[in-house]
Amino acid sequence: MNKKLTMKLPKGLAESLCRRHNGANHTSEEIIKAKNRLDKLYKKYLKNKKKLDYLLDVEWEEKKIESYFREPIWYNAHRRRERYAKNKLDCHRDMFYILTNFDGNGRESFDKYNSISVEDIMWDFEQKYLTNEK
């Protein structure tokens, strides 16, 4: 049984996969601009992550937030938790779109559960554009 499987992929799909794994051609100024934007968003992401972790892991227990059910301290803590989580998600989404658009794969959509992580976005950008600068 010597059967061969032959697949023909559309040219655009093969180019898109190549850009996803190797990056697209960009000037060094464009790379620096994108890296600076990613760095700012990453810093903002880490700041909100730290605040959220502190709120949930330390402050929630020390102040016994749940014991103040429907009081201002309870509402305030829940508002802050939602705000920090939303800011983290917004930064993650923006970083995802910066990377995919920079790769030339701007049609990919963001999903907070199935998209590449923030740390992987930073690592991927570095590997594609900074270590092997074209």
Any domain includes 10: no
- State which residues form the domain around 85: 27-130
Mean pLDDT, the chain, integer = 88
DSSP string, the chain: ----------HHHHHHHHHHHH-----HHHHHHHHHHHHHHHHHHHHHHHHHHHIIIIIHHHTTGGGGTTSHHHHHHHHHHHHHHHHHHHHHHHHHHHHHHHHT-TT----TTTSPPHHHHHHHHIIIIITT--
Q: How many domains are there within the chain?
A: 1
Any domain includes 11: no
Any domain includes 20: no
- pLDDT tens digits for range 11-29: 777 666 666 666 667 788 9
- pLDDT tens digits for range 55-88: 999 999 999 999 999 999 999 999 999 999 999 9
Any domain includes 19: no
Any domain includes 17: no
